Amino acid sequence: MTLTPKKITTLLFMSLLLVATTLVSAPSAFASTTVKKEFQLFSQKKGTDLRITYYMAKDSDKVTKQTAENRITYAALKKSAKTDNLDTIKAKLKKVQDSYNGVKGVKETLEFKGNYVLETVSINYKKADPNEVLALQGSQTDGNSQNKKIAYISYKLSAKTLKEQGYKAIKNGQFQTLQNLEE
DSSP state of 61: -
Would the pTM of this model clear 0.75, i.e. be above it? yes
Question: What digits encode the pLDDT tens for the residues 31-42?
Answer: 568 999 999 999
What confidence score (pLDDT) does residue 15 get? Answer: 39
55-64, 78-87, 131-140, 143-152 — which is least confidently predicted?
143-152
Report the distance separating Cα 29 and Cα 137, nearest Å. Answer: 41
pLDDT, tens digit, for every residue of 108-151? 999 999 999 999 999 999 999 998 888 886 665 444 455 678 89
87-112: per-residue pLDDT in tens? 898 888 888 888 888 899 999 999 99
Of the two residues 183 and 91, the one the predictor is more confident about is 91
Q: Can you tell me whether residue 142 is helix, strand or coil?
A: coil
User: What pLDDT is attached to residue 18?
Assistant: 36
pLDDT at 81: 86
Q: Are 139 and 133 in contact (CB under 8 A)?
A: yes
Average pLDDT, the chain: 81
Q: Rounded to an integer, what distance in angstroms lies between the CA atom of residue 71 and that of residue 115?
A: 10
Q: For the residues 42-53, what does the mean pLDDT come to?
A: 96
β-sheet bridge partners, residue 117 = 72, 112
Q: What is the pLDDT of residue 183?
A: 78
- Taking the CB of residue 66, how many other CB atoms lie within 10 A of it? 22
Domains of the chain: 32-170 (3.30.1830.10)
Residue 170 has pLDDT above 90, yes or no: yes
Buried b (16+ CB within 10 A) or exposed e, 131-163: eebbebeeeeeeeebeeeeeeebbbebbbebbe
